[in-house]
Amino acid sequence: MSYYRSYFKKNNTILKNSYINTAKNPNTEIFYGNGFSKFIFQVDFSQLQEKINNGDFILNENTTHRLHLTNTIFGDETLLGEERGTGRERAVSFDLILFEIPEFWDEGVGFDYDKVVDFTTGNLTYDLRPSNWFNRSSISGWTEEGIYSTTPTILQRIHFDNGNENIDVDITDYVNNILSGLTENYGLGLAFDLPYELITTLAPEQSVSFFTKYTQTFWEPFVETIFDDVIDDNRESFYVGISNRNLYLYVNYMGNPYNLDELPIVDILDPTGSVIPTLSGLTPEHVRKGVYKISFGVDGILCEGKRFFYDRWCNIIINGRDLDCVTQKFIPKQFNDFFQIGPNQTSVDKFAVQFYGVSLNEKIKRGSTRKIVVTFRSIDNPPKSVLMDDVYYRVYVKEGRTQVNVWEWTKLDKTNENSFMLDTSYMIPREYWVELRTMINGEDVFYKDEIKFEIVSEK
C-alpha cells in the first residue's frame, strides 16, 4: 500500500453579500443563521500528477482519493464561535455540501473576520481585496455571485451529528478526472446545504470550523491518495488448490525500478516445459514502478512439492527494444502443506524482531525515500530468518499524550523480505514514530522499542 498527500494550494472563506476577505486565517468558520459563509479551496495535484506521469505510481480501479479536514473542536466543548468572540454557537445535526468551483479565482491576503486598524487612516476596517462574495480577482467577478445560488455541482453531502466530526470523504472520481485532464482544477467549496442557507433569522448563528492551510498545527488539510499496490509474492509459498496466488516480475535499471514500454504476456509451464493450456497468454497487472503481477491458481495437476514449474514472461520491451523472454521458477506445494496440523506451534518468544533502513532519532531531509526492512529471526540453534505473510506498520505523531495516526496499520510488502517504502516528500517536518507488528500463533508480536525519526526541511 502506498500513500501520497496533496496539500491545499489556496483557500478562502467568503461571506454572503460581503467584500470581506479572510484567506490567511488559520481557521475557516462556516456558519448560517443571519447570513452564511462558504469555504473555498484548491488542492495542488501537480506533484501527484508528475509521479503518475513518471510511472512512480499506477492509477487503477482500486486507487482512492480522500479529502481530510480537521475540526477545530476537541472533546466535549459546546460552543465554537463564542470562544473566539464571534457569538456564534457550535452547530449540531446538519449537512455540509462539497461542490465544484467552475472558475479561476485568486486567494487574497485578508485575515480577520472582525475589523482591524487601517494604519493609513486610523479607522477600523476589513481587507476587502478579492476573492470575496462578488469578485474572484481584481478585474473579474464571479459569473454567479457567491459561486452558486441554487444550482451547485454537488460532489458529496456530509452529515454531522455532534458538529465536532472531522471530514474524511471520498472524492476519487473528481480527482481522477483532474489527473486524466477531463476536469479543470478550479477547486472545491464547503457550505451548509441549501435549506440551511435559507434560514435568515436564527440567533445565535450556527457554526462549524476547520483548520485551513495556514494553521501552525499538524492539522493542515489535504487529499490523501491510496494506491492498492502492496506486494504479496507467493513464489516461495505457492500451494496447489488455492486460487489467486501471486508471482511477480521485477524490472530494475542500475538498481532502481524501471517500467516496461508495454505489459508483458505470461505463460505458465509444467515441469516438462510445456505450456499449461488454461494458463497461456495471461495478462499481468502493472502494480507499481518496475513491478508486474500475475495471479492464478494451479489445480488438478500432480504436484508433490518437489518439481519446478515455470512462469515465462514475454513481450519484454524497454525503450523500444524487444528483449528475450524471461523464465522464472516456482515449486507448487501440496494443498495440505498450506495448513499446519500436529504439535503445538513455536512460541512467539522464540522470535526476535529487527529492522533497518532508518536509524533511531535520525534526522531525515524531507524528500528522501527510505526502504524499511523488518526481519524476524528465530532464536533456535542455529538462528534463521523467517519470512512472514502478514507484517504491518503504522506511522504516528504525538500531540501531548495522544498518538495521532499518520497512516493506520498497513501491510508490508512481502518479496524475499518484509519491507515498505517511506516516501517523505509530503511529510510535514516534525517528529514521527513507527510501530511494527505481526501475528504468530494468533498472538500479536510487536517491535518492543519506539522507532522515532524526524523529518527536517530540505533547505
What is the rounded distance in angstroms from the CA atom of residue 358 to the CA atom of residue 372? Answer: 7
- Give the whole-angstrom CA distance, residue 188 versus residue 178: 12
Residue count of the chain: 459
**245-338 and 348-456, same CATH topology:** yes
Confirm if 411 and 2 have CB atoms less than 8 A apart.
no
One CATH from 2.30.30.100, 3.40.50.740, 2.40.128.110, 2.60.40.1930 for 348-456: 2.60.40.1930
pTM value surpassing 0.75:
yes
Q: Write the DSSP assignment of 103-153 as a string of letters.
A: S---------SS-EE-TTT--EE---PSSSSSBSSSS-B-SSTTS-SS---
Report pLDDT for 340: 64
Picking from 88, 100, 125, the residue whose alpha carbon sits closest to that of residue 110 is: 125
In contact, 422 and 441? CB cutoff 8 Å:
no
- Predicted confidence at residue 78, as pLDDT, reads 47
Q: What is the mean pLDDT of each run of 10 residues along the chain (459 residues)?
A: 95 93 94 93 97 91 96 60 61 95 94 61 71 94 86 91 95 96 96 90 88 94 96 91 92 93 96 94 96 91 81 97 96 74 58 86 94 84 78 93 92 94 93 90 78 88
Q: 37: which residues sit within 8 A by CB, 6+ positions away? A: 13, 14, 15, 16, 28, 29, 30, 31, 191
Spell out the domain ranges in the chain: 2-227, 245-338, 348-456
d(CA 236, CA 332): 9
pLDDT at 45: 98
The sign of the dihedral angle between the CA atoms of 446, 448, 449, 450 is positive
Instruction: Measure the N-to-C terminal CA separation of the chain; round to a whole number of Å.
Output: 29
Which pLDDT score, from 0 to 100, does residue 314 have? Answer: 98
> In the CATH scheme, what architecture does the domain 245-338 have?
Sandwich (2.60)
Give the separation between CA 276 and CA 330, rounded to whole angstroms: 14
233: Cβ–Cβ under 8 A, 6 or more apart, which residues?
A: 246, 247, 248, 414, 415, 416
What is the pLDDT at residue 84?
A: 46
Quote the pLDDT of residue 122: 58
Bridge partners of 43? 8
Strands, E assignment, 171-284: 188-192, 206-211, 222-227, 245-250, 252-253, 256-257, 265-269
Three-state secondary structure call for residue 92? coil
Tell whether omega for the bond before 6 is within 30 degrees of 0, i.e. cis: no
Three-state SS at 172: helix
Alpha-carbon torsion 301, 305, 309, 313, what sign?
Answer: positive
> Which residue bears the cell 471520498?
170
Can you list the positions of beta strands (E) in 171-279? 188-192, 206-211, 222-227, 245-250, 252-253, 256-257, 265-269
3-state secondary structure of 277: helix
Cα-to-chain-centroid distance, residue 132: 32
Work out the burial of residue 437: count CB atoms within 10 Å of its CB; fewer than 13 is exposed, 13-18 middle, 19 or more buried.
Answer: middle
- Grid coordinates in use for 170? 471520498
